[in-house]
Amino acid sequence: MTKLIFFIVLLTSLSLYSQNDIVHYLINEDSIANCSMIKSGKFLNEETNTRTTPGYSIEIRDNEVMELVNDGEFYMKSKIEFTSECDYQLTVLESTIPNDNSVGTKVYVEIVATSTIDKLIEIRTTYNSNTQIFVLRKIED
Domain of residue 87, CATH code: 2.40.128
Question: Span 29-48, mean pLDDT?
Answer: 96
Domain that holds residue 130: 2-140
Question: For the chain, what is the domain count?
Answer: 1
- For 140, what's the count of Cα atoms within 13 Å in the CB-facing half-sphere? 8
Dump pLDDT digits (tens) for 51-79.
Answer: 999 999 999 999 999 999 999 999 999 99
How many angstroms from the chain centroid is the CA of residue 45?
4
User: pTM of this prediction?
Assistant: 0.81
Residue 101 has pLDDT above 60, yes or no: yes
Question: Span 9-31, mean pLDDT?
Answer: 58
Residue 24's pLDDT is: 63
Is 115:126 a contact under the CB 8 Å cutoff?
no
